[in-house]
Amino acid sequence: MPEKEKTKKKKPKEKKPEEIQGIIPPLDFSSLVLPFYTQAVINLGLAKDPLTNKEEKNLELAMRLIDLLGLLKKTTKGNLKPEEEKFLDACLHQLRTTYMEKLDIIK
């Protein structure tokens, strides 16, 4: 009688660290700031909403997101690394400037 052939089960392909890195954001301060920043950019009408693929403005929501970043800045004062503080300041400056420009266009 011939021996039964063993069937080898294929292991699922393991993902390389760089593939995983693309899925999971790094664990750093910018990972906290960027979601608020991105949503503010979308609500200022500077980028399309990825869900609707449309540019829509919601200045009230944009201002709320900017205020949340301002609150984050206030509550982390003295606890950030210089590059983290610079990053947050740059994000806030850009968003606030754009918000003011959008207000002038509407009026």
Q: Provide the phi-psi class of 68: left if phi over 0, else alpha when psi is between -120 and 50, else beta.
A: alpha
How confident is the model at residue 25, as a pLDDT? 74
66-103: per-residue pLDDT in tens? Answer: 999 999 999 999 999 999 999 999 999 999 999 999 98
How confident is the model at residue 35, as a pLDDT? 94
With a pLDDT cut of 70, the percent of the chain lying above it is: 76
User: Can you read off the two tokens belonging to residue 4?
Assistant: 């039964």
Q: Tell me if 66 sits within 8 A of 92, measured CB to CB.
A: yes
Residue 44, strand partner residues: 57
- Asked if pLDDT for residue 60 goes beyond 90, the answer is yes
Residue 57, strand partner residues: 44
41-53: per-residue pLDDT in tens? Answer: 999 999 988 888 8
- Asked if pLDDT for residue 36 goes beyond 70, the answer is yes
Measured CA to CA in angstroms, residue 31 lies from 27, 28, 54, 78, 87 at distances of 7, 6, 25, 19, 12
9 band by pLDDT with thresholds 50, 70 and 90: low
Domain ranges of the chain: 27-106
